[in-house]
Structure 1
Amino acid sequence: MPSLRALGLGLVLLLQVATGKPLSNRAVAAADCKPTGVTKPTAPDPTLPLTGGATELPSTNLTLQFVAIGRGIQNYTCSGAGAVPVQQGAIATLYDATTLARTNTALLHTIPAIVVYKPKPSGYMAVLGQHFNILGNHYFDSASTPTFNLTTVTPLQTAFVAKTLGVSAPAGSSVGPDGTGAVAWLDLNHKTGYPSMGPSQVYRVVTAGGMNYPNCTSNSLQTIQYAAEYWFYS
């Protein structure tokens, strides 16, 4: 079988005969080129933010799948006046910020501190010229297991997780509209005994608000506004 180079030069000669004009050196050089495979470079995953404290959340060897902005409430129960509030769980809507995380993490990190002061949108979230569609929701199941339903992903993905490590939010983090402070950053991993139906590791970072009041004033539920970034890995 003739080589690609020979075929290319043959076409050049035929074209020269047909037109009666000599071809330029550029045309000959083009015909002499050997095609090569081109690998399109892929952008690396964005880097998980750091608190800057003495202890950081551990890194992961898994692959980043989604980044979401969570906007909702943290709930705490009170046994009575003067008691210390006990974490009951959280309820939040997750807004898909994956594209922004891959293109402008600095802008992404400013958003939780803004949206925590805004009412939770009923549909998509719009802030700083960015448009974030709903990715899913976050809640605690009947066994107090943190659960993330990525309802707009096909097929549906659900992460059942347990806290592996928590570190304090950085000084200067948004205290939120309740003025209580920012909840801890967390490393959450797949909970043993639950089905594996989605990401196996979830980080909660760049938190705004969500901390409980120091003491209870009654036996009523404390409901604290919060926002955070959630990074999902598989």
Structure 2
Amino acid sequence: MFISAPAIRLALLPFLLIFFVTGCTSPVMQEGGLANPPLSEKGVVYLFAGLTPTGDDMARSGMFSLTQYIRAAGVRADVYNPVNWREAADNFLAQPNRTETPVAVAGYSLGGNAATQFADRLQTAGVPVQTLLVFEGYKPTPVPCNVRRAIDMYGSDGLFSLSSRLRPQKSFTGRLETVNWSKLHKNGRHDHLGVSKEPAALEYVRHALIGDNQVREIASAPGEASCFARS
């Protein structure tokens, strides 16, 4: 009897959730590592980790490592658990200079879904997202129209892949790029778990989000004005 790949992945999901039971105990991991620069005209990067393996903690996740690369460039970077995407968005929207502060967001695995929802929350407040990058995203919601550049980056494919391709909302008019990391970079582990801590992959993400020691500012999309008019 033939069993489809999606059915097999769905059957495996409960076992994966049993393994990944921690990582949602605290909203944000700020302790340790480099000091986080203050919010400034350089912008801010919001990162959403995936679920963390039992016995591990977020400080050992690839997304936390990514904060260290970004902070070293003098740019503020916060990493959140995926369930706390709304808190992250509201923290940013509470800033008095939110419309003048360039913001980028990236999410790994289940954090990919959090990243797209975070961007959608900013859309309702009329705030553009310079770059949204979903890295091995698990069922991300469609990319909202306030995102200027969206990147769907994945490193595994086939039967046991847990990643889902990024799709835009109908009103999205920005740039949507797809990066098959397993073909772009031949070294390292390209499975769902291993690729999230691969230094070269994390460096690629860092470079996509920031440049010249600030958040990369992307030209506004053709439909951005009408996007915010509907907010």
Q: Of Structure 1 and Structure 2, which has the larger fraction of its residues in helix? A: 2
TM-score, length of structure 1 as denominator length: 0.24
- Higher relative contact order, structure no. (Cα contacts within 8 Å, ≥ 6 residues apart): 1
